[in-house]
């Protein structure tokens, strides 16, 4: 048996040496596999006594290690104990480099995924994330960069001239960018939303004839739930072209309202109306009175302008307060015989009999003038 193993050869290497390499690979696989599991268990026990997330992330990244990668790495390390031809030795080095590079890329990709997940998980939590767009876009950029660097490094290691390859990618990238410039415009608009944060998920905004709450900010579009119930999907580029009113960030609401009273109201009562309005507004805890004045003489009313602030952004509360103020003013004005002005118009009609008399007199004068003898012209 020993003679047969010595006599038989593969690539000029006896079979018993191949069997030795296989045995070494098996032992290395068991050692690497047990070392991997032992490291994860050790780190898991340490993570139970720490408050940081870093050790948990390291554990999750290590758990993404592929067992096939460990097996392949053990086989390649075992084959290095053989006296292989130079050509095969070079190929094994390339395969080993590709294996290690692929596993490093998997670890980095997993790390980026964990980072993105940690930031995006808060979107559905009690305190929504500021904006998921920037996290999503950055995770895409990081992943593309990781796999691009790994691919180019592997190609360079196996002897491919990546200079021409990178140049061709640049030219192709310009062509693709021109073809999808609208999509790229929306993509960069989503980046601008993520960086500048003109609004966030949950904000109530108004632009143009659209008003509603932000439901989701995507890479190309933003979804808005309108106050009438339907979902409005708007392009990010078109959205940023508008002037946006963000009511979620309003700390208090300034209210201006006007009313008019009848011209028959006495001046002394006109002077008391601002104090009455102030008392009605000050009776609420969520209001701050600013001013109330007899503003102008209108066409059919004496006009007043009142300004006050509501120290909350709740629109329904604002309407409740305004309704109560209106009812209070109606009650007070009725008690003091002050009437709200109605649109009226006064017509001054001339005396018809006098008008007819003047017209008749003018006609008689005209007749007398026409009967006078005309002087002959010579």
Give dist(CA 315, CA 220) in Å, integer. Answer: 31
Answer for the pair 221, 235: CB distance below 8 angstroms, yes or no.
yes
Across 128-132, 213-217, 246-250, 369-373, the highest mean pLDDT is recorded for 213-217
Least confident of 79-88, 141-150, 214-223: 79-88
For domain 253-335, the CATH architecture is 2-Layer Sandwich (3.30)
pLDDT band at 126 (very low <50, low <70, confident <90, very high): very low
Residue range 57-74: average pLDDT? 81
Give residues with Cβ within 8 angstroms of 323, minimum separation 6.
none
**More confident site: 63 or 262:** 262
Q: In the predicted model, what is the mean pLDDT of residues 270-290?
A: 93
Strands of 231-235's sheet in order across = 231-235, 221-226, 210-217, 204-207, 245-246
Residues of the chain above pLDDT 90, percent: 20
Position 311 scores a pLDDT of: 87
Buried b (16+ CB within 10 A) or exposed e, 177-201: eeeeeeeebbbebbbbbbeeeebbb
First-to-last C-alpha distance (Å) of the chain? 168
Q: How far apart are CA 113 and CA 105, in angstroms?
A: 12
Residue pair 74/28 in contact by the 8 Å Cβ criterion: yes
| Range from 33-42, 97-106, 282-291, 344-353 that averages highest in pLDDT | 282-291
Mean pLDDT, to the nearest integer, of 299-317? 90
With beta carbons less than 8 A apart as the criterion, state whether 190 and 131 touch.
no
Residue 378 has pLDDT above 50, yes or no: no
Give mean pLDDT, residues 123-150. 69
The half-sphere exposure of 186 on its side-chain side, counting CA atoms within 13 A, is 15
Contact yes or no for 295/258 (Cβ under 8 A): yes
What is the DSSP-derived secondary structure letter of residue 159?
T
Residues in contact with 371: Cβ distance below 8 Å, sequence separation at least 6, in sequence order: none
Confidence band, pLDDT 50/70/90 cuts, at residue 332: very high
Residue 158's pLDDT is what?
A: 74
Give the pLDDT mean for 260-279: 93
Under a CB-based contact definition with an 8 Å cutoff, are residues 99 and 73 in contact?
A: yes
pLDDT of residue 142: 85
Model's pTM, two decimal places? Answer: 0.48
- Mean pLDDT, residues 220-240 taken together: 88
The Cβ of residue 109 has, within 10 Å, a number of other Cβ atoms equal to: 18
Q: Using CA atoms, how far apart are residues 267 and 281, in angstroms rounded to an integer?
A: 23
Q: For the segment 181-192, what is each residue's pLDDT rounded down to a tens digit?
A: 676 777 778 778
Per-residue pLDDT tens digits for 145-157: 888 888 888 887 7
Q: How confident is the model at residue 302 (pLDDT cuts 50, 70, 90)?
A: very high
Q: Which of 122, 150, 152 is nearest to 135 (CA)?
A: 122
Pick the CATH number of 182-246 from 2.30.30.60, 3.40.640.10, 3.90.650.10, 2.40.10.10: 2.30.30.60
Q: What is the mean pLDDT of residues 61-81?
A: 81
Mean local confidence (pLDDT), 11-37: 77
What value does the mean pLDDT of the chain take?
Answer: 80
Would you say 240 and 205 are in contact if contact means Cβ atoms under 8 Å apart?
no
Residue 239 has pLDDT above 80, yes or no: yes
| pLDDT (mean) for 230-234 | 90
Domain assignments of the chain as residue spans, ordered by start: 2-127+143-156, 182-246, 253-335
The pLDDT, as a whole number, for residue 128 is: 47
Q: What is the pLDDT of residue 274?
A: 94
């Amino acid at each position: 048996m020993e003679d047969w193993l010595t006599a038989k050869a593969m690539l000029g290497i006896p079979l018993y040496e191949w069997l030795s390499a296989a045995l070494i690979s098996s032992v290395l696989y068991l050692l690497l596999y047990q070392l991997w599991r032992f490291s994860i268990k050790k780190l898991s026990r340490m993570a139970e006594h720490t408050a940081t997330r870093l050790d948990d992330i390291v554990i999750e990244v290590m758990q993404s290690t592929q067992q096939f990668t460990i097996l392949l790495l053990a086989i390649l390390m075992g084959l290095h104990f053989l006296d292989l031809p130079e050509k095969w030795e070079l190929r094994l080095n390339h395969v080993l480099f590709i294996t290690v590079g692929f596993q490093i890329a998997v670890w980095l990709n997993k790390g980026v995924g964990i980072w993105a997940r940690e930031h995006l998980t808060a979107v559905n939590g009690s305190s929504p994330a500021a904006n998921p767009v920037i996290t999503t876009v950055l995770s895409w950029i990081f992943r593309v960069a990781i796999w691009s660097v790994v691919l180019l490094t592997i190609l360079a290691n196996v002897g491919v001239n990546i200079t021409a390859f990178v140049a061709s990618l640049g030219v192709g990238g310009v062509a693709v960018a021109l073809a999808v410039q609208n999509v790229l415009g929306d993509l960069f608009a989503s980046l601008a939303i993520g960086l500048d944060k003109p609004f966030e998920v949950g904000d109530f905004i108004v632009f143009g004839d659209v008003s509603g709450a932000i439901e989701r900010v995507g890479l190309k579009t933003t979804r808005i739930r309108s106050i009438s119930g339907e979902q409005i999907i708007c392009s990010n580029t078109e959205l940023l072209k508008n002037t946006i009113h963000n009511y979620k960030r309003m700390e208090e609401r300034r209210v201006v309202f006007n009313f008019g009273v009848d011209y028959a109201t006495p001046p002394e009562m006109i002077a008391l109306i601002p104090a009455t309005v102030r008392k009605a507004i000050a009776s609420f805890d969520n209001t701050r009175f600013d001013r109330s004045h007899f503003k102008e003489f209108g066409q059919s009313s004496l006009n007043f302008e009142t300004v006050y602030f509501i120290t909350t952004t709740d629109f329904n509360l604002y309407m409740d307060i305004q309704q109560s103020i209106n009812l209070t003013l109606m009650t007070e004005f009725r008690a003091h015989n002050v009437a709200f002005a109605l649109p009226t118009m006064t017509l001054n009609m001339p005396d018809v009999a006098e008008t007819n008399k003047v017209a008749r007199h003018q006609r008689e004068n005209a007749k007398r003038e026409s009967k006078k003898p005309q002087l002959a012209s010579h």
